[in-house]
Amino acid sequence: MKVVSVNAWGGAMFDALIPWLREVDADIVCLQEVTRTSGASGWATFTDGERTLPQRLNLLRDVSSAFAGYQPYFVANDAGPVTDDDGVEWRQDFGIATWVRDDIPVIGIDARNVHSTFVDHSEWGIDDRPRSALTLTVRDRLGDRNVSVIQLHGLRDSAGKQDTPARFDQAQRLAQVVDHVRSDSEIVVLCGDLNLLPSSETFAVLGKAGMVDLVGHADTRASSYRKPVRSASYLLVSSTDVVRSFEVVTEPEVSDHRALLLELHKRER
C-alpha cells in the first residue's frame, strides 16, 4: 500500500501536481490546503492580511475529476472570502482531503477538531485558525490488515514553529486520535503539514502513543519557499517494521512543500 501526503498550497501549482500524482499512483492521497467553492471553478485570489496567493476555487473537485477511480473525503477547517479572476467574491471552504482508491474498502471514518472549531470568517485571519484531523481506516486486502491513515494541517503561528501551549494541546488531541484507532488497526500512519520544528514536544507526545517520525530534520520545503526554516511536513508510523520505503520527494516540485511518499511492506501469506 502506497500513501502520499503533501500540502497542495491551494492548488497554486496544479498543472504540476496532477501529472505527478498520476505517476505516483498511490492508494491513498492526503492533501492539505484543499479548497472547495460551491458553484465555482477556475482560479481565485486568497488574501489574509499577510500574503496574497493564487489558488484554485475548487481544488477538491479539480483533483477528484482527475482521479475518477478514487473516492474523496473532505473536512473543512474554516471558510472565508476569495475573489475570482472577474472580481466576483465567493465564499470558500478551506480544509483537508483524503482520496482512497475505489478498490480499497473504507471501514472507518473519524474527523475531529484538534484546535478550535469551524469559523466562517468575514475576513481571513493570520493565526489561530481552526484545525481538524481526518482519519480513514481502510482494509488493505493485499496485506490482510487494517490500516488507519490520519492527516492534518497543523496549527500555524506567524511567530514561528516553536512549541506553544496551543500546539501542546493539539498534540495531546492527536495522541487521542491515535489511541482511538489503534485497537482496530494493525498499522497507523499520521501525516501532514504539522508546522513544527523537529525538536517539538509534539513528537514526544506522539511517541508515547507509539508513533515514530520518519522525517526528522529533512528539508520538506520546495525552492519557491524562501524562509530559512525548512521543516514543516512530517509522516509518522506505528512501526518502522512495516515500512518498505519512504521518501521526501525533491523532484518534481508540485507545491511550496515537498511531498512525502510512503510504501508499506506486503504481508507474507
pLDDT-based confidence at residue 238 (cuts at 50, 70, 90): very high
Spatial neighbors of 109 by CB under 8 A, at least 6 apart, are: 73, 135, 136, 137
pLDDT recorded at residue 266: 85
34 in Cβ contact with 60 (< 8 Å): yes
Q: Give the pLDDT mean for 162-185.
A: 97
Spatial neighbors of 80 by CB under 8 A, at least 6 apart, are: 91, 92, 94, 120, 121, 122, 123, 124
pLDDT recorded at residue 262: 98
Q: Give the pLDDT mean for 177-195.
A: 97
Does 212 score more than 60 pLDDT? yes
Distances from the Cα of 19 to the Cα of 25, 36, 68, 154, 252, angstroms: 10, 21, 14, 26, 10
Q: Which of 28, 17, 131, 117 is nearest to 71 (CA)?
A: 28
CB neighbourhood size of 93 (10 A): 20
Give per-residue pLDDT as tens, 7-50.
Answer: 999 999 999 999 999 999 999 999 999 999 999 999 999 999 88
160 in Cβ contact with 231 (< 8 Å): no
Q: Which residue has the cell 481526518?
A: 134
pLDDT recorded at residue 269: 47
Q: Which residue has the cell 485570489?
A: 45
pLDDT recorded at residue 87: 96
**Mean pLDDT of the chain, nearest integer:** 96
Residue 24 burial by CB count (10 A; 0-12/13-18/19+): exposed, middle or buried? Answer: middle
Give per-residue pLDDT as tens, 95-148.
Answer: 999 999 999 999 999 999 999 999 999 999 998 999 999 999 999 999 999 999
Does 1 score more than 80 pLDDT? yes
178 in Cβ contact with 138 (< 8 Å): no
pLDDT-based confidence at residue 268 (cuts at 50, 70, 90): low
Residue environment code for 122-159, b if the CB has 16+ CB neighbours within 10 A, otherwise e: eebeeeebbbbbbbbbbebeebebbbbbbbbbbbbeee
Does 267 score more than 80 pLDDT? no
Kind and range of the H or E run holding 165: helix 165-182
Does 265 score more than 80 pLDDT? yes
Q: How far apart, in whole angstroms, are the C-alpha atoms of residue 148 and residue 128?
A: 28
Residue 190 pairs in a beta bridge with: 150, 236
Does 170 score more than 50 pLDDT? yes
**Grid coordinates given for 107:** 471501514
pLDDT recorded at residue 121: 97
Q: How far apart, in whole angstroms, are the C-alpha atoms of residue 133 and residue 152?
A: 5
Q: How far apart, in whole angstroms, are the C-alpha atoms of residue 182 and residue 203?
A: 17
154 in Cβ contact with 107 (< 8 Å): no
Residue 1 burial by CB count (10 A; 0-12/13-18/19+): exposed, middle or buried? Answer: buried
